[in-house]
Homo-oligomer: A and B are copies of this chain.
Amino acid sequence: MSGDATLNVTVTAIRPPGPALPPMFSRYKEQVEQALFRAVPAPPDSQLYLVMRYHLGWADRHGQPAKEPVSQGKALRPTLCLFACQALGGEPEQAGPAAAALEIIHNFSLLHDDIQDRDIERRHQATAWTVWGEPKALVAGNAMQSVGDLALLSSADGQVSAQTALRLSAILTESYLEMIEGQCLDLDFESRTGITTEEYLHMIACKTGALIRCSLEVGATLGADNPAATQVFARFGQCLGRVFQIRDDYLGIWGDPVATGKAVGNDIRRRKKSFPVVYGLEHATGAARDELLRIYRQEALTEADVGQVLALLEGAGASQMSQRLIQDNADQAIRELDGVSLPGWARLEAEQLVDFLARREF
């Protein structure tokens, strides 16, 4: 038994460590947090805002400030927004309210996702709907969407013109409408088996890609009055969205349990129709395909089923194909950047970012 344990440790240690979070995340961290604090008020006696502040990890369920604020995640979207702004010569301060808006909208979608997926834990705490019930979590999510909108509209209080604030507001709203469309498609996929990879890629372009693209588009608009450069950042963002989500899908199945905090095959256990599964169902043939279909038609999967799916996906080339798709989109993202002239530091950081998103372990 101790031999097995040693073996496990060795296997984990052999795996090369994933890349560290690029420096842009720590550079903007404090600014993002301050912008968020400004955007989400804390009126006394308002349960609505309490639910929001709890969901953001700022307060416990009684409204007491969290002793150790729960990890906010990477704050990817606001970081992208501030980076795009600064890369094009703007002051990142100008983009603070927009960055906060993006993080708030992202969190509104998570709050409602938790209700829909009946998830009971997020960021190591009980999900809001399990604490306050579904109706209140639902309205708190709605309120959060509005608070995000107001944060963006407040951009015009600073040096941003009314025209620009209005345009940004339309870009943000259209993007999260696309995100919601993606959520609806995703819900549809739950009850289907014949999903093509093309359909899947369209769904994630909406559900995940739209807000990531929007983050860069909004940041670029605030950084420079240069529509061509903004379009470059938007296309860069489309590629990043695919890299981010397919890597997420990859990690959900083959991620290092030490880094992800989840067991190998976790998304298989949850019967999640992520890219590798969609690809496997599309490309497996004969008995392998029949076996995959049989397993996914079940209400719940045994550990033997999970092992079997892992083997079948490997056989169908799903792991290899996921990694190829990630790399292709990472390469494409870098090529898109050739369309805009960036200072050396920004180009380098953009490349670090792409590399991180493509190879991250967390």
Binding site for B on A (CB under 8 A): 46-48, 112, 115-116, 134-136, 138-143, 145-147, 149-150, 153, 156, 161-163, 165-166, 169-170, 173-174, 176-177, 180-181, 183-184, 187-188
Contacts and interface: CB of A to CB of B under 8 A. Distances in A.
A150 B176 CA distance: 11
Contacts of A115: 138
Copies in the complex: 2
A1 to B, nearest CB: 45
14 contacts: A46-B181, A46-B184, A48-B184, A112-B138, A116-B138, A138-B138, A141-B142, A146-B177, A150-B173, A153-B170, A156-B166, A161-B162, A162-B162, A169-B169
A162 to B, nearest CB: 4
Nearest to A50: B184
A237 to B, nearest CB: 19
Contacts of A145: 142, 145-146
Contacts of A170: 150, 153
Contacts of A142: 112, 141-142, 145, 180
A173 B156 contact: no
Nearest to A163: B162
A170 B150 CA distance: 7
A265 to B, nearest CB: 25
Contacts of A161: 162
A174 to B, nearest CB: 7
A173 B149 contact: yes
A180 B135 CA distance: 11
Given A115-B138, A143-B184, A150-B173, 16 more contacts: A46-B184, A48-B180, A112-B139, A136-B184, A142-B180, A143-B180, A145-B145, A146-B176, A153-B166, A153-B169, A153-B170, A162-B163, A162-B165, A165-B166, A166-B166, A169-B169
A183 B149 contact: no
Closest 6 CB pairs of A and B: A162-B162, A116-B135, A146-B177, A162-B163, A48-B184, A143-B180
B139 A180 contact: yes
Contacts of A188: 47
Contacts of A173: 146, 149-150, 153
A182 to B, nearest CB: 9
Nearest to A141: B142
Contacts of A143: 177, 180-181, 184
A136 B236 CA distance: 31
B139 A48 contact: no
A187 B135 contact: yes
A159 to B, nearest CB: 15
A165 B162 CA distance: 9
